[in-house]
Amino acid sequence: MNDGRDRLRIAVQKSGRLSEASLDLLRRAGLAFRASRDKLFLYGENLPVDVLLVRDDDIPGLLVEGSCELGIVGRNVLDEQRLAGGEAAAPVALLDLGFGGCRLAIAVPDGGTIESIGDLAGLRIATSYPALLADWLRAQRIEAEVVLLAGSVEIAPRLGKAHAICDLVSSGATLAANQLRELTTVLRSEAVLAASPRPRGAAATQLVERLGARIAGALSGAGARLLMLQAPRAALPAITRLLPSREAPSVLGLDGRPDDVAMQALCSASLDWQHLEELKRLGARGVMVLNVERMLA
């Protein structure tokens, strides 16, 4: 694709919080893979698409240099490297993927003297996300010192290395275990599908678009239900109002029964037994709910 390859490459985290969900999503988008012996590479068996298994921090760089056309990475990593990289072309975020949710938050020692973000002025804040933190401090017009730590950021206050930390949080259990309290959120993040900013040939562009559409389809299909029923035509407005529906239902006439219709509606996963009982009460018959496996808009 770039550099004369004839197969597309998708970069995915090798082992970590995003690995399983990323590969699962690619499978739901219809890709089948065979692992290489060194487990660094998954060979696509049914499309000219391979998966490169790497550290998540390497994914933006692989996209910028064009070694991979697509990647699945946390928005936090993508934005950090975009800000740190300055002028260089950055990967393009195509889709939010609905997993890997977390927030980059500033936390301070429990029971300490830092009570509002204004109190951070003049203090030291430890983080593995210096560019995102510096950007946030600039926007808030707070002058504080950013201390770069590669890991174990949460113990920095106890070691006397910093007064506060700026780190990723999901449940907050790690903060609590270290007697830290969340002060404010710097960035909300989740896994995104990102694309290389490098120009590609027509075949690669087409394949990237096709995969993007399939992945979007796998995401929107997840949890969707197809509702089918028959009902008196007069009950249609009341039935339509009741449905947790994503779009207007399709309504079909029935041969020899001018007062009745058949209806199909795409609903969200919140369609439950109570909805079905209400539908019956409104005169619906033959009510059927089917899981939607995949969808192409």
Q: Which residues make up the interface to ligand ATP (CB under 6 A)?
A: 13, 16-18, 55-57, 74, 76-77, 100, 102, 168-170, 189
**Alpha-carbon span 259 to 49, nearest angstrom:** 52
Whole-angstrom CA distances from 27 to 9, 11, 44, 114, 219 are 15, 14, 10, 47, 12
**Alpha-carbon span 190 to 75, nearest angstrom:** 6
Residue pair 71/191 in contact by the 8 Å Cβ criterion: no
**Alpha-carbon span 123 to 81, nearest angstrom:** 24
Select from Mg ion, ligand ATP, none the partner in contact with residue 279, using the beta carbon and a kind-dependent cut-off of 5 to 8 Å: none
The minimum distance between CB 16 and Mg ion, in angstroms, equals: 7
- Per DSSP, 192 falls in state E
Give yes or no for residue 80 binding Mg ion (CB under 5 A): no
Piece of the chain touching Mg ion by CB under 5 A; list 56-64, 88-96, 124-132, 159-167? 56-64
Q: Helix-strand-coil percent breakdown of the chain, rounded to 5?
A: 30, 30, 35
Smaller CB separation from Mg ion, 50 or 56: 56
The minimum distance between CB 101 and ligand ATP, in angstroms, equals: 6
Smaller CB separation from ligand ATP, 76 or 81: 76
- Per DSSP, 91 falls in state P
The minimum distance between CB 132 and Mg ion, in angstroms, equals: 14
Piece of the chain touching Mg ion by CB under 5 A; list 49-57, 87-95, 117-125, 200-208? 49-57
3-class DSSP state of 1: coil
**Touching Mg ion, residues 180-219 (CB under 5 A):** none
Smaller CB separation from ligand ATP, 67 or 76: 76
The minimum distance between CB 76 and ligand ATP, in angstroms, equals: 5
